[in-house]
Chains A and B, each alone.
Chain A
């Protein structure tokens, strides 16, 4: 076996040291009738053979090396700088566990501290944790935090905007199914922010909006936090980290919790994961927040160092009274985002956002001029916009894929039945003008 170092002599000597005669003798505690079952698994392959099989499976997929991607809806094809992978492959990072022993984990701990700083800075909030599994689970944790934070016993109502990612809303419902909550706001799915604010009352714990929302539009948040706070509830904003490089952050608008998907920050699409849920809030709520936190301190000789802190909130200490069950989170993905934000920096992140903005606007205007197509450009947008098409999106996408090597936009009819024939198109800095022109040309061809 490739990864097992013992020789026959090692095994014999070790069994003798233990005082048993055979390997089998180590397992006498297992009920005999269930011991050593046959496993029906394919025979083992060598590394060389396994890699060939995996290459075959990989080649059976349509990937962004060869196709133009205009698909977003929560996962984005942004450029991943080369440096990131090289840092992630430093095995002192990726073969380490959660940094429980700080003296031999300063690399991980300082990275978390830098990440927390960057997320707080980006969102305009005071504190960030070390990550959740993804944007959807970050939002679910925000709901739970709000329920534990708001004053008043009977606050069991949560208002969700219908323009929050449909899968995020689904995850909130899964997480809270045993909590006897009233989750409202996303039906009817035409509710506006004003409609949502009208639902606020003295039973509301949290109101959730997303900006740019699922349809790509930047929401108007002016005055919303005031209305939410007047009702004694908290405001959670689901944000996109690239948009935070350009637009005023939710903290400026008075948000209490800001969550989102960190995948755009140097993390590959990877068929949906691993990604990175970011979570930021106000300092006054830090003890209600779930997840790991790195804090600054000093060592015995007065040197600056970092440790995991406030762990009395966490499951390994507080058990059933913990703020959450989260343990393993998305450490290495957090590192990817930290390296990405360090590399791009102040100017670079803004430039990525501006490139998305210019390219998506070029694409939107171009498609809007095509016969039979129209684009909703009433609200400002960054990288995604809704195109009303002359025929079902699934038909268009099939033709784009087979004849044009294009992965088309998201079919909104999946989640919003009233939005038949509406395609959510995504354009990032990774899309070239040639790709955009080809998309426009293809849309004409496949619908004429």
Chain B
């Protein structure tokens, strides 16, 4: 007998394997329209341990799973440093046009001129928006763009015959990907402390600036959401000792039409198309992390990149071709990058133009400052001044011991909102990194402020409600320690377990 269980707010969706019944399938395939060839019996496997599920059960399973997620389309998502802005629907339609979705990367370039034109323009527009001399769209994510950028800086020095340079300077407020990308490139990380204002400590920087420096990686605005007050001095110091300056472009949403990193002297930067240029995060990718460089580094870009190999005329369109930069670091990925994300970013830029992009950045900054202004009397903001697209508050009070940033975050879920980024940057205790983005209305921001103020009140009067949170999500707080200790990464019966 099947037992019936009435619905409750809490949900445990079976694994797809637990829905399996021998003999079922979700898709009927045609019979062969050619004579069957003899299969090589000695090479065949006995069994493929996959589930057997009907189509409706597959659809219901994944629809029900989707309902367990919070997404931008469901509610506010102020996850700092992730730029969770609205992902326009038209982008999805554009990327699915058959002339984009159903073309092969190794086709003769004459067959794919439309796709190559799109890439050419996107390279050009990103370069224009950033003040870089050229862009390669190949990296698949921000960290991948960083790796490319560091390899470019390394190779630039090697190519000049300067092999002594092995140090990359990284401020202590940097994203973890910065030091990790450095190590992957075979270079040494030297951490630079922040000063009292949250910027780079100039004395510490100057102490490290010597002829062993490959370059500096700097996030602008930094991870506190602040524009580096000494930006010109910092860049000047590094370049003064022969180093290059890499800008982590994760926070470029604050800068479009506001300042070109190239005008500040930045030598290399990456873009996160999945942050600034509205391509969706997909629950953890796919992203796209194009890398841009100044003139002297153009020969080192990963490739191939698209170039216009013959100019057009009144009768003939221009001809686009693949070009490998002369001293390229090589390919960082098969083919040319996450093209589907390029189509979305192209669509976004095409619908904004110069004025539109500037307004995006202005409103991102306006929204962040508005939320900061309305929370700062309740939540301590350690570097409290006009911020850029995000700010960092402390999720703790001396008179509410035992309440942590994590408790505030979990409680926020009960209000239908995604929490801010927790515990980053590392230089702020109990950090709550809040990035509202420009696409949120004043009413949404006000609702967030109201929830945060109520949570602060609860922290002082009824902290248990925070410690027990979230109360309304599909599952309650999860035991992460058990997950790491018992380590179950696979459904046992399918993995011989």
Contacts and interface: CB of A to CB of B under 8 A. Distances in A.
Nearest to A268: B101
A447 B89 CA distance: 48
Nearest to A77: B104
B71 A62 contact: no
B172 to A, nearest CB: 10
Given A39-B256, A247-B45, A343-B25, 12 more contacts: A50-B350, A74-B335, A93-B66, A97-B82, A104-B69, A114-B16, A273-B338, A273-B340, A295-B488, A309-B487, A331-B282, A407-B111
Interface stretch (B56-64, B204-212, B451-459): B56-64
A327 B73 CA distance: 23
A38 B468 CA distance: 51
A116 to B, nearest CB: 6
A18 B356 contact: no
Contacts of B363: 4, 6
Contact of A103 (B97, B386, B476): B476
Contact of A274 (B71, B146, B184, B340): B340
Given A17-B370, A63-B98, A315-B180, A329 B285 contact: yes
A269 interface: yes
Nearest to B131: A37
B141 interface: yes
A93 B263 CA distance: 38
Contact of A95 (B71, B151, B357, B413): B71
Interface stretch (B237-245, B393-401, B434-442): B434-442
* Interface band, chain B: 35 or more
B314 interface: no
A240 interface: no
30 contacts: A10-B441, A13-B442, A20-B369, A31-B231, A31-B264, A39-B128, A41-B357, A44-B356, A54-B97, A61-B103, A90-B66, A93-B66, A94-B71, A95-B71, A97-B77, A98-B284, A101-B410, A104-B70, A104-B470, A177-B329, A271-B105, A320-B189, A325-B147, A325-B184, A328-B142, A331-B286, A342-B50, A342-B61, A349-B50, A362-B35
A355 interface: yes
B143 A315 contact: yes
**Most B CB within 10 A of own CB, among A55, A245, A294, A332:** A332
Interface string A26-53: 1111110011111111111111001101
A90 B63 contact: yes
Interface stretch (A201-209, A226-234, A299-307): A299-307
B257 A36 contact: yes
A5 B441 CA distance: 5
Interface in B279-338: 280-287, 302, 329-338
Interface string A209-249: 00000000010000000000000000000000000111111
B1 interface: no
A339 B60 CA distance: 11
Given A39-B257, A46-B351, A130 B69 contact: no
Nearest to A19: B373
A288 to B, nearest CB: 14
A99 B185 CA distance: 28
B351 A14 contact: no
B476 A301 contact: yes
**Most B CB within 10 A of own CB, among A35, A99, A117, A355:** A117
A331 B283 contact: yes
A179 interface: yes
B104 A101 contact: no
B67 interface: yes
Interface string B36-73: 11011001110111111101001101110111111111
Interface in A249-274: 249, 252, 261, 268-274
B439 A5 contact: yes
A249 B62 CA distance: 28
A324 B450 CA distance: 40
A83 B349 CA distance: 30
Nearest to B372: A18
B482 A30 contact: no
Nearest to A124: B45
A233 B410 CA distance: 46
A51 B185 CA distance: 41
Given A50-B350, A61-B99, A361 B37 contact: yes
A34 B355 contact: no
Interface in B65-106: 65-74, 77, 79, 82, 84-88, 90, 92-106
A338 B61 CA distance: 12
Given A31-B264, A92-B66, A355 B32 contact: yes
